[in-house]
Structure 1
Amino acid sequence: MRNIKYIISCILFAILSFACEDYLDKQPDDQKTEEEVFTRYTEVNKLVTDLYSRSKVANRPLAWFYHFSSAAITDEAEGTTVEGNITNRFNTGDWSTMSLAGSNGQYWWDIYAFIRRANVILEGVAKYNSPDNPLEPGSLEKRIGEVYFLRGYLHYLLLRSYGEIPYLDHSIDPNSSMDFTKESVHSIVEKIVADAEEGYKRVPGAWGGEHFGRVDKGACLGLIAIARWTAATPLWNGAKEAGYTGERVFENEYTYDQSRWASARDAAKAVLECQNDGKLRYKLYDTHSETDFNDDAGENKNESTVYARLWDMYYDMTAFQNEAVWFVTKDKYEGWYGDMYPPSRGGSARQQPVQEQVDEYEYISPDGYGYPVYSAKAKADGYDDGNPYKSVKRDPRFYRDIIYHGAPFRDGNNNPATVDVATGSDKINASNATKTGYYHRKYFRDSWNRSGSVSISAPPIWRLPDFVYIYCEAVNEISGPNEEIYQKVNAVRARSFMAPMPPATKTDKNLMREYIKRERRVEFYYENKRAWDCRLYVEPSNEAELIKEQAWRSAGSTNDERSQKYWATGLRSYPKSQRMINGMRPVEDPNGKIVINGVKYRMERYCVEERVFDVPRHYLFPIMETEIQRSPTLVQNPGWN
C-alpha cells in the first residue's frame, strides 16, 4: 500500500489539537478546577492526548531543531544559513549556557515542563480516583500506562542530551524553590526502566484502528532496550578508557562493566522476541521484489537504481504496523520537500549529505560480499574514486538516500533528468545549491512535484533494526561474533538487497564491531541517530580517530590538498572527530567516466569546512544559566562553566 493518507485516519489521535481547559498552568477562575478535570474520564483522556503531542515535539526526527534535523551538526550533512543559521551556529561553537538555537520543545526547560504534566496526571488520577471510560472499560488503566511510558521516555530524551539529570517522579510547584540534584546516568536508567515496566503492565500488546500508534508493550520494551544500550556505550561505560576527559558528578560510576552489555543484550532480545496474540510482534518490511523499481506513481524513472521497497518502507502502512516500535505522526509536510529538493526542482537544498556519510555506503564485491570503499580490497575490485558511484555497485540504500553528480532524478517538469552539479542551477555553491556536491533524497516521493499535499510520518523514533543492532553489538562485546549475529545483521542488509558481510566478520570481533557501526550509520542516515551515536562512542576523543585527524592535517598545505592526499595515500575513512566535513566535485576530464550532456567528468574530493567540537564540552548540552540560578544545587556539565 502506498497511499500515505492512512496516517491521517489511523493515528490521528497523536496529533489532534484538543481544546482542553488545562489546569496544569494558571488559568482564569472560570476554567475547570483540578477536581472537575480528574473526576471525568474525558478530561483525563484529553490531558494524556496533550502529553502525547508534547512528547512528539520533544523529539521530531526530521526537525529536531524545528527548521532542521540534527544531521547537519554531525558528519552526516551540511546545513544552509536560512532560518537563523541554526546548525552552523553549533558547528562554529556558537552555543552557550546563555543561548541554544532552534528551540523546538527539545531542551531542558520544555521537557521538564512536559514531565511535570505527566506527574500531575498520575497524581490527579490517584487523588480523585478518576473514573474509567464507561463506553470502553479498561481505557483508564491504559492511559495510566501510557503516561508512565511517556514520563520515562521524556527523561531518556533529557539523558541523551544532558547526561546526569534530576529524575522527577512527582510534580513540582513551579513557584516554589527548586533544589534539584543530578543522579548518575545508571540510576536514571533504572528509573526509566521502572517507568517502562509500569507502562508495560497496563498497555496492550498492540493497537489497531484509530488507536494505532499509541504506546504498546513493544514500545515499553523498546524504551528499556534503548536505555540499557545507552548505559552500555562508552560515554557511560568505560569513558576514560575511550578517551573522555571530563569530570561528571558521578564519574567514578562510568568505568567499564561488561554486565551493562548483558543487560542491553537481554533487553534488545525481549523486543526481538516480543509477541502479540501468539505471533512475533515485529518483522522486517519485505514487500516488493528485487525486480521492482517503480516509484510512487508506478513508474521506473530512476534507471532501476532505487528499489520500490526502499521507498515504501517509510510510507506503507504495513511497514509501520510490522516494524515501527515507537513513532510520532506527521513530522513534516510538502513544504519539507521544497526545503530539501535541488534548485532544479524548485528546492532550496536546506541540508546536504557530506562525503563522510557517502563513504560509509559499501560496495558489492564480485565475491558476493559487501566491503567499504576505503578497504584495501576496493581498488582491486575496481573501485575508482573518480567514478565512485558507478565504477562498482554501491549499497542500494546509497541510491535511495543520496543524489549525486550523474544521478537519475526528475526535473522541474517531473520528467526524467540527470543531476548536474557542475553547471546550471544545481551547480555547487550556486544560489540555494549544494556546498558538498550532494543532495538529500531519502523519504522523497519521487513523483511529487510541488502540487498536492504530502504527509511525512517518517522516520520512526525506533524501528526493528535498532534492536537487531543492539542485540548483535552486545553479543559481540560480551563474547565475540558468532553465526547468529552474523545472520541477523545480514537479514537487515538483505531486506535492502545488500550483499552480506564477509565471512571474516564471524571470527573477528573488531571487524564485526566495525560492520555493525557502519550498518547503523547507513541504515539510520537522517533518522536523528548520528548526532548522539558519535557522542556515545566518544569518537571525537577516540585515539584511532585522533591519529587519523593528525594524518589528515599532515597530508598537505591546504585543506583541499589534505582531503585529497589523505584519501589517495591511505584509502581510509575520514576522521570521525566532528571537526571537518568534505565533499566531492566534478572536474572536466577527457578521460572521465561520468558523461553529462556530452561532457566527461571525474570526481575530486575537497574540504567543505572545518568545524568546532571541543572536548569534553560538546559531548553534552549545557544547562542554561537561568536554570542554574533557579536551582543552585545543580552542577553544570563539564566544560561549560
Structure 2
Amino acid sequence: MNKNIFFAGLITLASVFTSCEDYLDRVPDDKVNEQQVFTSYEKVEALVTDLYANCKGANKPIIFFANFGTAGVTDECSASSHENATPHQFHIGNYGPSQGMPASSSCGQYWWDLYTKVRKANIILEGVAKYNTPDNPQSGRQGDIKRRIGEVYFLRGYLYFLLLRAYGEVPYVDHVVNPGDNMDFAKVSFHEVVEKICMDADSAYARVDAWNGGQYFGRVDKGACLGLKAMTRWMAATPMWNGGKFPEDTRVFKEEYGYDASRWEAAKKAAKAVMDCKKDDGSLRYTLYTKYDKNDFNDVDGKNTSNSKVYQRLWQMFYDMESIEKEWVWFVTKDKDTGWSGDVLPPSQGGHARQRPLQEQVDEYEYIGPDGYGYPVYSKRAKADGYDDENPFESVKRDPRFYRDIRYHGSIYGNKQMNTAEGDDAVSGSYLDQASHTGYYLRKFYKDAWDRGHGGHTINGPAIWRLPEIIYIYCEAVNETSGPNQEIYDLLNQIRERSFMAPIPPEAKTDKKLMNEYIQRERRVELFYENHRIWHCRLYLEPDDAEQLALEKAYEDANSWPYPKTQRFSHGMKPVEDPNGKIEVNGKHYRMERFIVPDNRTFNSPRAYLWPIMQDELKRCPSLVQNPGW
C-alpha cells in the first residue's frame, strides 16, 4: 500500500482474509484466515500487542522526528543539521501537501500512518465481536479477552487524539471499510471527534484493570483511560477550538468553535478524575515522586559533581521505576538508548549537540526573590532583586529545574566546567556546526555526570502524559471557570516544592491573569523537551495573540526582551571576555551577551497551526477540505 494513500488503504486490508499474506501488516502464523485468527485468543492477543507497538511508536517524545524531538521546531530549542535536519525543515516551512512531510522523519505519526493503525483497531474490534473470541485459556487469566478489547478501544481513541492534535478536523471512521463501500469521506467537527474519543475511553475504562503491576505494567489501565479523556477535553477547551481568533479561518465547522465555558468545566472534571483515580486497594493511583531530599546532589557514581546544582531527585524522576509507576499516566518504553545521550553531548565529550536550547526557553526559568517567592527574570522587580543579565545564571538563584535542564557557560558537569568562549564547545555561528549555535547545551534526561565511559542505559521517557500535566489542566480549568483560589495555588506549589522551587507569590491567589501566567510558565518549564510545546503554542494561538504580536512589533534587537512567543524568533547568549565580568572560567572573566541565532526561523500563519493533508488524498476524496492556509 502506498503510505500516502489513506482512502485506498482503508479497503486494502478489508479483503485480507482471502489472501492472508499480509494480515494486519503482520502474519501471526503462516497462512491463516479470518476465522482462525479470531477464534484464537493467542492470535488476537498478538494482534493487540502489535497494535500497542504501532501506537506507542507513533508518539515517542524525544525522537518524534526520527532522531530528533519536536523541541527544535519550537522556541524551546534550535536543531543541528544532522540526519537531514528534519526540525530545521519544519521551522523554515519546507513541507507541504504536494512535497509531502519530510519522509525521513516518519516514525508513524503522520496522516497515513495513523489511519493505518485506526484500520487495524477497527478490524480487531469487529473480528472479536463477529467470532466471539474465546478467553485466555491459561488458568487464572479469565477476563483477558475483555481487557484486550478495552485496550483496543483506548488505542483507537488515542490514535484519534494524535490525529486531532496534528490535523484538527478529520474524518472519523469506526468501522472496517470494504470494497465497494462509499468512499466519500469528509471531515467532522473537532468537538464531535472529542466526544467519540471520550466514548472509546469510557468503553476501555469499563474493561481494563485499575492497576497493572509486574509483567503487565505499561498496559492500559483505568488511569490511562481517564488521562485520555482529560487531555482530549483540555484540547477542546483551549483557544484554537474554544473562542480564540483563528487567523483567516477556513475550518469547515468554524461556527462551532466559539467560546463555551462548559468545555473548561468538562476539562476540570476529567482532570480531577485522574487526580482522584484509585487502585483496587483504595490508594491513589498517582502521586508526585519525592524520593531523595534537598541535601542529595549525588550523580551516577554517588558523588556531588555538579557543584550542588542538580538534585538527584530531578534526574532520577525520569529513571527510577518508583517515579514511573507513581506519576506516569501514559508512556512509551525504550524511547531511545545511550545513542541519544551521545548525540546530544557537547563536542568536548564526543557529541554534536543535536538540540540546542534557546534563550526563549532559558528566560522562562524563574529566579527566587529575597522574599522567598519565584518571579520571572523579565519581571519589573527582577533587577532590583539582584538579577543581572550579564551574570544570569548565578547573580540570583534560578529554578533548580534550570540547572538540571540546561548546560551553560560556567556550569559544572562531572566536575568539569563548561566553556562556551573557546575550545570545542565555543558558541558557533551556524546550526551546521557541531558546537551549539545558541550558547547552550541540553542536560535534561541525562543521568547526571553520565558520559560515554559509563556504559549503556535505556531511556524510558519522557512520559507522554504524567501527573503534573494533569494538575496543570485542572488548575487552569478552575482558574478559567471560577477564578484562582487556595486549592490550585497549593497544587501548583506542590509541583514546585517537589523540584525544590520556591512558591508562587500569594497575590496570584486573587489575580486570574497572574495565576494563568504562572500556570503557563510552570507548564513550559516542567514539560520542557517532552513533546508538548509544539502543540501548546498552537492550541493557545500564541503566534497570533495580540499581546505577543505587540511584543513582536516593539522588537528591535536581541536586548528587546522578553521575546514574543510567536515562534518567529531565536536567541542565545554568548560569553564576552571582560575583566569586570562576574563569571570566571579557566582563570578568565566573562559577562554574558544576548544575540540573534541565525537559523532563519519562520511561522507562517495560518498554515503552520495544522499539518497539511496530502494532495493525493484530496484528489481521491474530493469531499475532503484542505486545512487552513494550505
| Same topology, TM > 0.5 | yes
Relative to the length of structure 1, the TM-score reads 0.92
- Per-residue CA deviations over 1:329-374 (Å, capped at 9, x if unaligned) read 0000010011100111111100110000000000001100000000
1:524 corresponds in structure 2 to 527
The 3-state SS of whatever aligns with 1:171 is: coil
Amino acid at match of 1:263: A
The 3-state SS of whatever aligns with 2:591 is: strand
Work out the CA distance in 1 between the residues paired with 2:380 and 2:71.
29
1:147 partnered with 2:152: yes
Correspondence 1:334-373 to 2 at 5 A: 334-373=338-377
Correspondence 1:376-455 to 2 at 5 A: 376-410=380-414, 416-429=415-428, 431-451=433-453, 452-455=455-458
Q: Is the 8 A contact 2:335 2:460 kept in 1?
A: yes
Work out the CA distance in 2 between the residues paired with 1:66 and 1:29.
30
1:563 partnered with 2:552: no
Moved more, 375-384 or 626-635: 626-635
CA, structure 1 residues 306+545, in 2 after alignment: closer, same or farther (shift >3 Å)? same
Deviation at residue 177 of structure 1 after TM alignment: 6.0
Work out the CA distance in 2 between the residues paired with 1:120 and 1:284.
38
Work out the CA distance in 1 between the residues paired with 2:308 and 2:472.
29
Work out the CA distance in 2 between the residues paired with 1:130 and 1:585.
64
Q: Is the 8 A contact 1:295 1:311 kept in 2?
A: no
1:584 partnered with 2:573: yes
Deviation at residue 580 of structure 1 after TM alignment: 1.0
**Residues matched between the structures, number:** 600
- Per-residue CA deviations over 1:80-138 (Å, capped at 9, x if unaligned) read 11111211111111111022111110000000000100000001101111110011111
Work out the CA distance in 1 between the residues paired with 2:85 and 2:24.
35
Work out the CA distance in 1 between the residues paired with 2:468 and 2:178.
41
The 3-state SS of whatever aligns with 2:518 is: helix
Deviation at residue 296 of structure 1 after TM alignment: 2.1
Deviation at residue 21 of structure 1 after TM alignment: 7.7
Deviation at residue 449 of structure 1 after TM alignment: 2.1
Amino acid at match of 1:157: L
Q: Is the 8 A contact 1:311 1:445 kept in 2?
A: yes
Correspondence 1:28-177 to 2 at 5 A: 31-98=31-98, 99-101=100-102, 102-135=105-138, 136-173=141-178
Work out the CA distance in 2 between the residues paired with 1:520 and 1:496.
13
Amino acid at match of 2:97: T
Amino acid at match of 1:100: M
2:614 corresponds in structure 1 to 624
Deviation at residue 590 of structure 1 after TM alignment: 1.0
2:294 corresponds in structure 1 to 290
- Alignment RMSD, CA only? 1.6
Pick one of 613, 616, 621 that aligns with 2:603: 613
Amino acid at match of 2:437: K
Correspondence 1:274-313 to 2 at 5 A: 274-276=277-279, 277-313=281-317
Work out the CA distance in 2 between the residues paired with 1:134 and 1:147.
20
1:575 corresponds in structure 2 to 564
Identity of aligned residues (%): 58
- Per-residue CA deviations over 1:424-449 (Å, capped at 9, x if unaligned) read 00011174100000000001013432
1:222 corresponds in structure 2 to 227
The 3-state SS of whatever aligns with 2:479 is: helix
Correspondence 1:597-612 to 2 at 5 A: 597-609=586-598, 610-612=600-602
Q: Is the 8 A contact 1:146 1:199 kept in 2?
A: yes
- Per-residue CA deviations over 1:590-630 (Å, capped at 9, x if unaligned) read 11000011110000001103421111111000001121122
Amino acid at match of 1:422: A
CA, structure 1 residues 629+342, in 2 after alignment: closer, same or farther (shift >3 Å)? same
- Per-residue CA deviations over 1:354-396 (Å, capped at 9, x if unaligned) read 0000000000011000000000111001000000000000000
CA, structure 1 residues 197+581, in 2 after alignment: closer, same or farther (shift >3 Å)? same
CA, structure 1 residues 289+175, in 2 after alignment: closer, same or farther (shift >3 Å)? farther
Pick one of 463, 466, 470 that aligns with 1:467: 470
Amino acid at match of 2:528: Y
Q: Is the 8 A contact 1:274 1:280 kept in 2?
A: yes
Deviation at residue 26 of structure 1 after TM alignment: 9.6
Amino acid at match of 1:581: S
Q: Is the 8 A contact 2:406 2:442 kept in 1?
A: yes
The 3-state SS of whatever aligns with 1:160 is: helix
